[in-house]
Amino acid sequence: MVVRGAGPRGGWRGGAPRPLGIDFRLYDPAPDASGGRVAPLVVGAFDDRRALERFAADVDVVTFDWENVPADSLRALRGRAAVRPPARALAVSQDRLAEKRIFRRLGIPTAPFAAVNSLAGLRRAVARVGLPGVLKTRRLGYDGKGQAWLHRRADIGAAWGALGGRSLIYEARVPFQRELSLLSVRGADGAIVHYPLAENRHEQGILRLTSAPYRDRALQAAAESHLEALLARLRYVGVLGVEFFEAEGRLVANETAARVHNSGHWTIEGSVTSQFENHVRALSGLPLGGTAPRGHAAMVNFIGRLPAAADVLAVPGAHLHDYEKSPRPGRKVGHATLVATSARARDREARRLLELGRREAGELTQ
């Protein structure tokens, strides 16, 4: 079995396979991939088909935890090892237009959108979809990258100048009250479990805080229905995440994550079974674990530089996860989870962790 380490981008923070008695190997282009500290690492390019095929010949299941692994490389491994989740799911999550189209086919609400391939096409999209809106690259955009906001028609030229020449999508702005996400897990036998909705706060396009559970029975039921439709359509195995906007009491789908997801890191200490363990259970054909929260949980991302471990662990209920990355502005270098007995206590301690992170990141940029 291979669980791909994310190298300098991250890694398997939960260490999920080892307690289950499952051996795993990693494949990554980076020789200093952080996953290499916990499992054998094979270094190779993601588009080196021969190297990937040799690697897959020694494992039973191939999975991934980075959204930009080439879907075609995974397709080439079919017949050599089981690929879970399927390459098609990854391909959909890599293309914002494909995501929106599958949402629309399944009746999942989205913002109005239009494909854009030229300056004239952008003008037509703005006329049809309206203003304000956001122009996005269809591929490779993450953490707020590859986006340009349009508030008036005069912004069209600048937006095209910034992003033109690539395949794009223009989306109407959604006036939302909050950002929510749902993680669901589908096993090889078709069994499905859902985590509770989580509320997310982004700053400058980067996730800073996740709080769970977000309790709203109607929204939870709607989100679960949407995820079940996606899981079935994609013949999915593993953890699937969908980010939503809550707008006027309903959910509007934003994007998918065909992998374990940053907004699910709270589950490591905050749930009966972490997203990482449930992903491995699903891949391996094992029964899925419970998803109930252990209390009121939060996850705080540390951006740029990690605060001192003693300061983080002095916060009641906090657990530190160090990605062992070198400091760099805008880089996720670790996170803290915390679990409290009340939402008020959780939110109070989460604010302390956010302040620690901001103070440390401020020192990095001075």
Whether the upstream peptide bond of residue 31 has omega within 30° of 0, thus cis, is no
pLDDT class for 49, splitting at 50, 70, 90?
A: very high
Tokens of 155: 């912004």
Q: Which helix (H) or strand (E) holds 366?
A: none
218: three-class secondary structure by DSSP: helix
| pLDDT at residue 58, rounded to an integer | 87
| Residue 198: closest CA among 59, 337, 26 | 337
* Listed ranges 50-54, 158-162, 360-364; the one with the highest mean pLDDT: 158-162
| pLDDT at residue 276, rounded to an integer | 95
| pLDDT at residue 204, rounded to an integer | 86
What is the secondary structure of 95-113 as a DSSP string?
-HHHHHHHHHHTT--B--E
Tokens of 224: 């679960």
**Alpha carbon distance 288, 188 (integer Å):** 10
| Residue 14, Ramachandran bin (φ over 0: left; ψ between -120 and 50: alpha; else beta) | alpha
pLDDT tens column, 219-243 = 999 999 999 999 999 999 999 999 9
* Percentage, residues of the chain above pLDDT 70: 93
Cβ proximity of 270 and 212 under 8 Å: yes
Average pLDDT over residues 257-283: 96
Average pLDDT over residues 175-204: 97
161: three-class secondary structure by DSSP: helix
What is the secondary structure of 291-355 as a DSSP string?
--BSSEEEEEEEESSPPPHHHHHTSTTEEEEE------TT-EEEEEEEEESSHHHHHHHHHHHHH
| pLDDT at residue 143, rounded to an integer | 62
Residue 5 scores a pLDDT above 70: no
Q: What is the 3-state secondary structure (H, E, C) of 223-245?
A: HHHHHHHHHHHHCCCEEEEEEEE
What is the residue-averaged pLDDT of the chain?
A: 92
Cβ proximity of 285 and 187 under 8 Å: yes
- For the chain, how big is the Rg over CA atoms in Å? 20
**Alpha carbon distance 109, 100 (integer Å):** 9
pLDDT class for 269, splitting at 50, 70, 90?
A: very high
**Alpha carbon distance 159, 334 (integer Å):** 33
pLDDT class for 362, splitting at 50, 70, 90?
A: confident
| pLDDT at residue 10, rounded to an integer | 37
| pLDDT at residue 366, rounded to an integer | 44
Residue 248 DSSP label: T
pLDDT tens column, 109-161 = 999 999 999 999 999 999 999 999 999 999 987 666 799 999 999 999 999 99
Tokens of 49: 């088909």
pLDDT class for 320, splitting at 50, 70, 90?
A: very high
| pLDDT at residue 324, rounded to an integer | 87
Residue 214 scores a pLDDT above 90: yes
| pLDDT at residue 352, rounded to an integer | 98
Cβ proximity of 15 and 65 under 8 Å: no
Average pLDDT over residues 246-262: 96
Q: Cβ-count burial of 289 within 10 angstroms (0-12 exposed, 13-18 middle, 19+ buried)?
A: middle
Identity at 174, one-letter amino acid code = V
Cβ proximity of 96 and 136 under 8 Å: yes
CA torsion angle 127 130 256 229 (round to 10): -90
Q: What is the 3-state secondary structure (H, E, C) of 299-311?
A: EEEEECCCCCHHH
**Alpha carbon distance 236, 200 (integer Å):** 24
| pLDDT at residue 363, rounded to an integer | 54
pTM of the model: 0.92
